[in-house]
Amino acid sequence: MGTQHPTGPDLWAGVDVGTQSIRVMLCDEHGNVVGRGAGQLSSSRAGTRHEQDPEQWWLVFCEASRAALQEADSAGRPAAQRVRALAICATSGTFLLADASGRPQTTGLMYDDARAAADFDADRWRSVGHPAQPTWPLPRLAWLLEHGSPELRREMGAGQLGLRHCGDYIAERLTGHRVATDWSHALKTGYDAGKQAWATGPLDLLGLPERFLPEVVRPGSTIGSVGLAGAEHSAFVAGTPIRAGMTDGCAAQIAAGALDPGSWNSVLGTTLVVKGVSQQPLTDPAGVVYSHRHPDQGWLPGGASSVGAGVIEQWFPGINHELSDASAAKYEPAGGILYPLAGRGERFPFVRPDAAAFHSGHFTDDDDRYAAVLQAVAYVEKLTYAHLRRLGAATDGRHYITGGATRSRYWNQLRADILGVPLELPFSAEPAFGMAVLAAAGDGPLNATARRMIQPGTLVPPRPAAGDRFSSAYADFVAALTTRGWIDEDLSRNALEFA
């Protein structure tokens, strides 16, 4: 628990390094937000490459930190002196290479940088016991060893460079020395969360020494404290503890409160990400579901689909969402079914690099087609839970929904109706808030701290018998995927069993 100082109550800081911005949030022990700061990030994109400047991360972080602390300085109470700890989350798989003194020797390679896709060989990574996807750090490290400058390749092999995840780099700038990473950010880089050690196969395959990778600790562990130089730039007080964070997806899950076995959080934005809690790690032969380790006990399995709200802006440019939602309510179900992909390829709840949008049936007008998109995303969400169940996951806990698409009350209600379960809109689902909770928990139980700090949200119960209206259309949707060979008969049966 926090303590009351003459200058005010204890505070905890959460930092979220996203794709377009960095956000810093200051919270008290009851989860009240007393300070916010943010700054914009710019990216460099060229073909399949997506990069950012690590120096920009540091400068924008400092800008956002000073703004948050200044806002919390109300009534003349210095907020910086009351911050007991901070934790940082970043996009999963974003990294850079730095020398022994922490100076970047590459740009920041972003989580969706696909430069390694052309050379990617899934069997290569399975053969060393760590299945990977083209945008994960391991294939991109292989790309750097193959296509990087001779000097970079030589220094990598000699152990003169080391990998830093995005959050590690900012923490290193704050402390003034290299820090340990957490087992959440390390997962895609080759960390075996079950054995709690780096997998040796990938390092041997790449010919990299063990010291190339950082030490790994439990999220919430203290990895250092703010140094004098870090304090001067960020405005945090020197000596403030820095605690190991988690990826932004896990941070959002913490903020939602989906931390008990059987509970799930669906993040619906441009795409759909589903993450939950299980007692055991889920083994997925398809490789689409992977499990982070829970800071307390158990696992945080999840996957990301390519469907989501992003297709709406592409298919219905300039749409008035509020008016379209009202019109969509007249089409329950829509006149046809479709699979709402904005581009090519699907990754969850099935893997089909060749998947593309399709439709069948007859749509009366654009409102009917718009309704079909909303319904189809809910059908995919329902199908993801069928896939998770057949892997052994319990899905009978509380279901939270977060992401930009939750601004649509109608879509929230539609998803509750089709899923047939109450959905909870958290009071705050910002990853920065999740990191403030983790900073407050530290080495202690995360769940107990979350229960204290997370305030009640809004419940969206399914309308009585509303799901029955969509049962036939959902069955047609599942049948269409089965006929195309996108899902197998077992998943098809599982999907309809709970429909």
Residue 246 tokens read as 């988690």
Q: Domain spanning 258-425+464-497: which superfamily?
A: ATPase, nucleotide binding domain (3.30.420.40)
Ranges of each domain in the chain: 4-248, 258-425+464-497
Q: Global pTM? A: 0.90
445: exposed, middle or buried (Cβ count in 10 Å: 0-12, 13-18, 19+): middle
pLDDT tens-digit series, residues 299-342? 999 988 999 999 999 999 999 999 999 999 999 999 999 999 98
Give the whole-angstrom CA distance, residue 196 versus residue 42: 35
pLDDT tens-digit series, residues 215-256? 999 999 999 999 999 999 999 999 999 999 999 989 999 999
Give the whole-angstrom CA distance, residue 238 versus residue 217: 23
What CATH number is given for 4-248 in this structure?
Answer: 3.30.420.40
Same fold across 4-248 and 258-425+464-497: yes
Three-state DSSP class for 158?
coil
Q: What does each of the 499 residues of the chain score in pLDDT, given as a tens digit? A: 454 455 678 999 999 999 899 999 999 999 999 999 999 999 999 999 999 999 999 999 999 999 999 999 865 678 999 999 999 999 999 999 999 999 999 999 999 899 999 989 988 998 998 888 889 999 999 999 999 999 999 999 998 999 999 999 999 999 999 999 999 999 999 999 899 999 999 999 999 998 999 999 999 999 999 999 999 999 999 999 999 999 998 999 999 999 999 999 999 988 899 999 999 999 888 778 989 999 999 999 998 899 999 999 999 999 999 999 999 999 999 999 999 998 888 989 998 889 999 999 999 999 999 999 999 999 999 999 999 999 999 999 999 999 889 999 999 999 999 999 999 999 988 999 999 999 999 999 999 999 999 999 999 999 999 989 999 999 999 999 999 999 999 999 999 987 6
DSSP, res 377: H
Give the whole-angstrom CA distance, residue 376 versus residue 387: 16
Return the closest-CA partner of residue 421 out of 471, 376, 463: 463
- Collect all residues with Cβ–Cβ distance below 8 Å to 30 and sequence separation of at least 6: 452, 453, 455
Number of other CB atoms surrounding residue 381 within 10 Å: 23
